Amino acid sequence: MGIKTPLFGRGRAAPMVLALATSTALLSGCMSSKDKDIDALALASQTEPADKLYNQGLANLEAGRLGEAAKKFEAIDKQHPYSEFARKALVMRAFASYRKGDYDDAISSARRYLATYPGSSEAAYAQYIIGLSYFRQIPDVTRDQTDTARAAAALQEVVDRYPQSEYVEDAKSKMRIARDQLAGKEMQVGRYYLERREYIAAINRFKNVVDTYPQTRHVEEALARLTEAYYAMGLTQEAQAAASVLGQNFPESQWYKDSYALLQSKGLEPRAGAGASWFGNATRLITGAGRDQVPDAQAAKGEVRPPRA
């Protein structure tokens, strides 16, 4: 992380302990016989200097004693809540919890850091820790993808809010993985509906893959499944348009070859939809041109070649 061990003076703790000891002496005259069992000086001695706790936390971290490290950083927060060490300790606690696999505590600590110190130099790292913590909890594609969506959103925050951060490139890489997983989940549900001939529900899922995750590896199959679903419903123009988008963007794809063969079984060929239609927008999304730009001349004319044998 690049956070160096601070070298604050250790003598600062002495006045604090002396003051507490003085207070203990003043209070002793007011104690009842029951209260005399309480050793206030012993309680005061349990408060350690912030720099000592911080360095102990770093030492435990380097030695792999992650639980002990987190406890030391937490102790700073409790014993010295308004110190500079408390600020550093909070983000270090998030890191230690992340390394330990305690992702809930890592997320909680990092969020608290961002809420308390939004403009600090470690704010980007705290946001990055949140994204990583959700990313490490991404489940198999057959399960609920709530953590995957949260990972993608948190990592996007790193890119959007801290574009000059050293964590941006890794955030982008992990964000692509998370978005690919989300697209894969949509495909799984879409195929489920398609197998049961619930075509409208299937089409909505496949369209969402193209609209929301146009740069993922699932787009080819989504377009082929759209061709299949529209064809099964007898909506041949939509089937031709979906196959056209597939052919324009993935002419060598096996998915395009299969879709082309499906249309050919009824003497049909891919044919581009209107430029302002969903199919026209889909082409622009996949190519990265954006919704407001006009597609190129070949795409507008629907000049899609048949796949190579």
Asked if residue 286 lies in contact with residue 302, where contact means CB atoms within 8 angstroms, the answer is no
Pair 145, 181: CB distance under 8 Å: yes
- Of these ranges, 13-27, 29-43, 91-105, the one predicted with the greatest mean pLDDT is 91-105
Q: Which of 26-35, 63-72, 156-165, 273-282 has the highest mean pLDDT?
A: 156-165
Is the predicted pLDDT of residue 20 greater than 90, yes or no? no
CA distance 102 to 11: 35
Region label for 201, one of left (φ > 0), alpha (ψ between -120 and 50) or beta (otherwise): alpha
Residue 288: pLDDT band (50, 70, 90) is low
Confidence check: pLDDT of 222 > 90: yes
Is residue 205 pLDDT above 90, yes or no? yes
pTM of the predicted protein model: 0.76
- Residue 275's pLDDT band, with cuts at 50, 70 and 90, is low
93, exposed or middle or buried, with CB in 10 Å at 0-12, 13-18, 19+? buried
Nearest Cα residue to 223 out of 300, 285, 274: 285
- pLDDT tens across 37-64, in order? 445 444 444 678 888 899 898 898 889 8
Per-residue model confidence (pLDDT) at position 283 = 79
Six-digit token string for 137: 């909890």
Provide long-range contacts, Cβ within 8 A and 24+ apart, for 114-118: 116/87, 116/90, 117/87, 117/90
Q: Which domains does the chain have, with CATH numbers?
A: 44-180 (1.25.40.10), 197-301 (no CATH)
Euclidean distance between the first and final Cα of the chain, in Å? Answer: 53
Q: What's the whole-number mean pLDDT along residues 147-160?
A: 98
pLDDT tens column, 178-189: 999 999 999 999
